Chains A and B, each alone.
Chain A
Amino acid sequence: MKCKEFLALLDDLIDDSVSPETRTELQTHLGKCGHCEIIFNTTRKTIEIYRSHEIYDLPAGLRDRLHAAIMARCKKGC
């Protein structure tokens, strides 16, 4: 397997949507290619970091304003 072929299947490997045979091929390539191993590990880490860190906090008071707006609509006709 070449690096380009590995890269084409990188997302499927990360998302765990490859067949057992393909997985074995990809892992064999990873064992031999430091370049692709770095890409695989750091791409997985990239996703994990974005998933686990809240980078935009919900502004204070927004929920209350929304609740008030919903109640106002509700009074008009729900």
Chain B
Amino acid sequence: MSTIQSIAGELEPHPDVALVERVRGGDVSAYDTLVRKYERQIFRIAQHITQNREDAEDVMQDAFLKAYEKLEQFQGNSKFYTWLVRIAVNESLMRLRKRRTGKMVSIDEDIETDEGSVPRDLADWAPDPEQNYNQAELAEILRKTIQGLPQGFRIVFVLRDVEGLSTEETAETLGLSIPAVKSRLLRARLQLRERLSRYFHRKKGVER
């Protein structure tokens, strides 16, 4: 399967490659296209890491500006999107360090080693649990739940499951090994599942 993908990749370059080339040639409108394509993802990632709206706005702005300025350095070995995500993750961590002066901030903090633990809450969920809440309530539940995850788990879950990076891309972006990404992803998924069970439990759901 990877062979098929790589052959297809060689025949058909990613559409971002052409946009990046246009920007390098001086066409700033092509950069606007890239911004529109990825602004939501970059803002979300920054918000998930910094957990602060103002910081996330600054990070998004700084990340796109930095990428614009450093575009000559972009080699094209990785996708433009993953390169941009890496810049945004680094900017976000720098922003956190500024806020917590003197305190080291890394994606390794708050990691407990509870490898192999079996989930406790095993209540089944209602068939469409999100139907029991309106959009605003649901968004609040999802925000609160993911904010409670240890940072090192949260970033891996967001990059891998929400923003669609592969395990390899997530590992490269965060400077982690592939087994470390896999282990964090499993624990992130299980912890989120367990925390969401409080809201989505079959009995607690209010029928509409």
- A residues near B (Cβ < 8 Å) are 3-4, 7-8, 10-11, 14, 35, 38-39, 41-43, 45-47, 49-51, 53-56, 58-59, 62-63, 65-67, 69-71, 73-74, 78
Name A66's contact: one of B56, B60, B139 (CB within 8 Å): B60
Does B40 count as interface, using CB distance less than 8 angstroms? yes
Min distance, Cβ A1 to any Cβ of chain B, angstroms: 14
Among A10, A47, A54, A69, residue most surrounded by chain B Cβ atoms (within 10 Å): A47
User: Quick check: A46 and B35 within 8 Å, CB to CB?
Assistant: no
Interface string of B64-80 (1 = CB under 8 A from A): 11001100000000000
User: Quick check: B36 and A63 within 8 Å, CB to CB?
Assistant: yes
Does B21 count as interface, using CB distance less than 8 angstroms? no
With both beta carbons as reference points, the residue of chain B lying nearest to A7 in the complex is identified as: B118
Interface SS of chain B: helix
Interface string of B105-139 (1 = CB under 8 A from A): 00000000000101100111100011000000011
User: Quick check: A43 and B190 within 8 Å, CB to CB?
Assistant: yes
27 CB contacts below 8 A, A to B, read: A4-B116, A4-B118, A35-B122, A38-B123, A41-B125, A42-B197, A42-B200, A43-B190, A45-B200, A46-B189, A47-B161, A47-B189, A49-B196, A50-B161, A51-B162, A55-B44, A55-B142, A56-B47, A62-B39, A62-B61, A65-B61, A66-B35, A66-B39, A67-B35, A69-B61, A69-B65, A70-B32
Residues of chain B from 155 to 208 with CB closer than 8 A to chain A in the complex: 157, 161-162, 182, 185-186, 189-190, 192-193, 196-197, 200
Among A42, A43, A56, residue most surrounded by chain B Cβ atoms (within 10 Å): A42
Name B60's contact: one of A14, A62, A74 (CB within 8 Å): A62
Kindly state the interface size class of chain B when it binds its partner: 35 or more
- B residues near A (Cβ < 8 Å) are 26, 28, 31-32, 35-36, 39-40, 43-44, 47-48, 53, 56-57, 60-61, 64-65, 68-69, 116, 118-119, 122-125, 129-130, 138-139, 142-143, 146, 157, 161-162, 182, 185-186, 189-190, 192-193, 196-197, 200
With both beta carbons as reference points, the residue of chain B lying nearest to A56 in the complex is identified as: B47
A-B contact count (CB 8 A): 110
Complex Cα gap A53–B61 (Å): 23
Which residues from chain A contact B182 at a C-beta distance below 8 Å? Answer: 11
User: Quick check: A39 and B193 within 8 Å, CB to CB?
Assistant: yes
